[in-house]
Structure 1
Amino acid sequence: MSAIGEYLKKIRGDMPLREAAKRSGLSHSYISSVENDKHPTTKAPVKPSPDSLKRLAKAYNHSYEELMKIAGYYEESDTSEDTSELEEISENRKKAIEEIRKMDEEEVAYFYDLMKRIKK
């Protein structure tokens, strides 16, 4: 089971899957697949999208940012950028950071994934 799957199951607690589905707008079978990290047909690992994590965070009254970190979309240090540190970096990096701060969480997750691919 993946870290995010285990964590989601833990924070869901005693809430039935169908109640979690109703609150989140996701299907109970999808939530089960995420929690068990296995697609029922293909047996492939299941990584929830940022949108799914946002819905689950709201349904479970939990931190979206924490779910994004556990799912591997970004690290804790990615969200703790202090503005005083911006003075020590290049102008291009300052501009890039300011643009990222204007993005919603789904855009940030997509951009972060793209950056990882470029760096490889």
Structure 2
Amino acid sequence: MNFYEQLRDMRKLKGFTIRELSDRSGVSAAYISQLENGNRGVPSPDVLMKLSEGLNAPYGELMSLAGYLEKTDSAPNDSYTKPKVNLRRFLRDNDLIFDGTELTDQDKEWIERVLTALFWKEKGRMRDIDPS
């Protein structure tokens, strides 16, 4: 399987349309489409960085798929640690869309409150189960 097919498969596995990946990465939808169809050369490392962020995939993995890095015999991601994302900050600091609707600051605050309530409710339930 070549780079272009693997990129398409990664996008589809994440459940993104080309437009959604474009919105998430800042890479034009036309360019992504051309890449996936094999009508463009392997993208630059800068474009791969943007695509890795849009796909929430390790940059090193895309660099390997594109042929910039040699694949090793060790398991993938051995030396790569996924960055931790502060979900509260992510909600506050990004323009977000859900089901095609742009979320307002009030929407994002509501989501944050729901997540907080669910998170702490579950934490409380786990304390009841495991008192250690």
Q: TM-score range by the shorter chain?
A: 0.5 to 0.7
Q: What's the offset of the Cα at 1:70? A: 1.0
What are the residue-to-residue correspondences of 1:75-90 with 2, within 5 Å?
75-77=70-72
Q: CA deviation at 1:74?
A: 1.7
1:114 aligns with none
Question: Which structure 2 residue ranges, 5 or more long, are not aligned?
Answer: 73-132
Question: What percent of counterpart residues are identical?
Answer: 41
Report how far residue 76 of structure 1 moved: 2.6
Q: Which has the larger radius of gyration?
A: 2
1:76 aligned counterpart, secondary structure: coil
Using structure 1 for the length normalisation, give the TM-score: 0.54
Provide TM-score, normalisation by structure 2.
Answer: 0.50
Structure 1 equivalent of residue 3 of structure 2: 4
SS of the residue aligned with 2:69? coil
Aligned partner of 1:23 in structure 2 is 24
Amino acid across the alignment from 1:17: I
Conserved in 2, the CA contact under 8 Å of 1:17 and 1:31?
A: yes
Two-structure CA RMSD over aligned residues (Å): 1.4
The aligned counterpart of 1:59 is 54
1:34 alignment partner, SS class: helix
Aligned equivalents of 1:56, 1:3: Cα separation in 2: 17
CA distance in 2 between partners of 1:65 and 1:4 (Å): 14
Please state how far the C-alpha of 1:63 moved relative to its aligned partner.
1.0
Shift of 1:36: 1.1
Letter of the structure 1 residue corresponding to residue 3 of structure 2: I
Measure how far apart 1:66 and its partner are.
1.0
Q: Does 1:47 align with 2:42?
A: yes
What is the aligned partner in structure 1 of residue 33 from structure 2? 32
| Structure whose residues are more often helix by fraction | 1
Cα separation, 2, equivalents of 1:16 and 1:76: 28
2:61 partner SS? helix
Cα distance in 2, alignment partners of residues 47 and 76 from structure 1: 17
